[in-house]
Amino acid sequence: MTRDSGSPPPTQRDEPAAPHPHPAAAAHPGGAESAPGERPLVQAEGLSKFYPVQRGALAKPSFVQAVVEATFHVYRGETLGLVGESGSGKSTLGRLVLRLIEPTVGRVLFDGHDLSALSSRALRAMRRRMQIVFQDPYGSLNPRMTLREIVGEGIVIHRLARSRDEETAMVEDALQKVGLRPDMMERFPHELSGGQRQRVAIARALAVRPDFIVCDEPVSALDLSVQAQIVNLLEELQDELSLGLLFISHDLRVVEHVSHRVAVMYLGRIVEIGPTQGVAGRRHHPYTRALFEATPSIERGSKARRLLPGAPGSAINPPDGCVFHPRCRRSEEGKCDVEIPPLEELVPGSGHRVACWYPEIE
């Protein structure tokens, strides 16, 4: 089952200059701030990140092409799922969007503001509105801090409370929102279960009242039953607070369940993006198709049919042409190994874009 993606944006590109209908509006009827015509909360434009690598003193410097020309948007109240194999660039892209790392090329507009053009003071203020929840609730929480300190830290840094009492009330409120009792405030992370710890990580993000959260594999380290609880919690919070979410996961089933739209990454590039039902249902890109076919679906009751053939290429020396062509069953010599396919809509106005010379249609 997928979340309703509502009306797809009518424009060809994913980074509209003009406002267009909010794709999450239909999924959140009556949801706060989901007015049609609203501009995207987050717009990533041509983001690339190349890391220099030196393989020997005399060798020419080369680059890991972690993310290449990623363009997408996220609305308030909307979840964009980001899937792909390990090393495809998902985490790097999540960090680029938050400007936790600097892009080599490209820019991010947050609520219309170019993050690279902000003063450090303005960027600090903007940072409150953009949070991240990491995969590992063990590693991401300071074991020497109590829940009050962990959840209250951002409130103090951003001076959101006028008194200690108000700070306490805000911590309590954040804990309650994630289903934890306020009387747990003086506990330490090691006294909690994995699921409770991840709730604390979410409470920490929520405490500063953000508009947008990057969830980087937020449930991958948790047991299946706890995964469902955390996913449901994120959905409830999103509905209540109209949060924009970038939900990064290698687990297609989770992404299919939580996302209004999905972006598929391969070797640093977005190769398919669109409403979840379109991407998961039609699977136009041969990589998307292979990825779904390699994933068992609980709802469809299927078993994994086959593994994705071949190994992912190197991000240091990616293949010419389409980066997926060496593994692709539809690859044509002289075309796919030479020319990079643009990310384009097959059906104009569908909001579903594919980077493939010979997309799967049936």
Ligand X SMILES: Nc1ncnc2c1ncn2[C@@H]1O[C@H](COP(=O)(O)OP(=O)(O)OP(=O)(O)O)[C@@H](O)[C@H]1O
> CB-wise, 51 or 358, nearer to ligand X?
51
203: Cα separation from own chain's centroid: 18
Among 2, 34, 88, 196, binds ligand X (CB under 6 A): 88
Among 73, 90, 199, 353, binds ligand X (CB under 6 A): 90
CA–CA separation, 266 vs 276, rounded Å? Answer: 17
> CB-wise, 2 or 65, nearer to ligand X?
65
Q: How far is the CB of 220 from ligand X (least distance, A)?
A: 9
CA–CA separation, 133 vs 215, rounded Å? Answer: 5
Q: Dig out the tokens for 185 from the structure.
A: 């405030």
Among 4, 51, 145, 330, binds ligand X (CB under 6 A): 51
Among 24, 27, 41, 64, binds ligand X (CB under 6 A): 64
Q: Dig out the tokens for 296 from the structure.
A: 């068992």
Q: How far is the CB of 326 from ligand X (least distance, A)?
A: 16
Per CB under 6 A, 84 contacts ligand X: yes
Per CB under 6 A, 103 contacts ligand X: no
Per CB under 6 A, 92 contacts ligand X: yes
> CB-wise, 77 or 89, nearer to ligand X?
89
CB under 6 A: which stretch of 82-90, 159-167, 330-338, 341-349 binds ligand X?
Answer: 82-90
CB under 6 A: which stretch of 11-19, 22-30, 83-91, 351-359 binds ligand X?
Answer: 83-91
For residue 145, the number of C-alpha atoms closer than 13 Å in the C-beta half-sphere is 16
Strands 353-354 and 344-345: antiparallel
Torsion of the alpha carbons at 174, 175, 177 and 183, rounded to the nearest 10: -130
Q: How far is the CB of 297 from ligand X (least distance, A)?
A: 21
Per CB under 6 A, 288 contacts ligand X: no
* Residue 269 and residue 69 in contact, taking contact as beta carbons nearer than 8 Å: yes
Q: How far is the CB of 172 from ligand X (least distance, A)?
A: 34
Q: Residue 72: which of 50, 54, 93, 99 has the closest Cα?
A: 93
Number of residues engaging ligand X in binding (CB under 6 A) = 13
Per CB under 6 A, 89 contacts ligand X: yes
Q: Residue 146: which of 173, 184, 182, 172 has the closest Cα?
A: 184
Between 249 and 268, how does the x/- string for binding to ligand X read (CB under 6 A)?
A: -x------------------
* Residue 38 and residue 84 in contact, taking contact as beta carbons nearer than 8 Å: no
Per CB under 6 A, 140 contacts ligand X: no
Q: What single string gives the DSSP state of each residue in 307-328? A: PPPS----SSSPPSSSTTGGG-
CB under 6 A: which stretch of 21-29, 39-47, 89-97, 228-236 binds ligand X?
Answer: 89-97
Among 98, 230, 315, 323, binds ligand X (CB under 6 A): 315
**Residue spans of alpha helices (H) in the chain:** 90-97, 120-127, 147-157, 164-177, 194-207, 224-241, 252-258, 276-282, 286-293
Instruction: Give me the residues that bind ligand X (CB under 6 A), please.
Output: 51, 64, 66, 84, 86-92, 250, 315
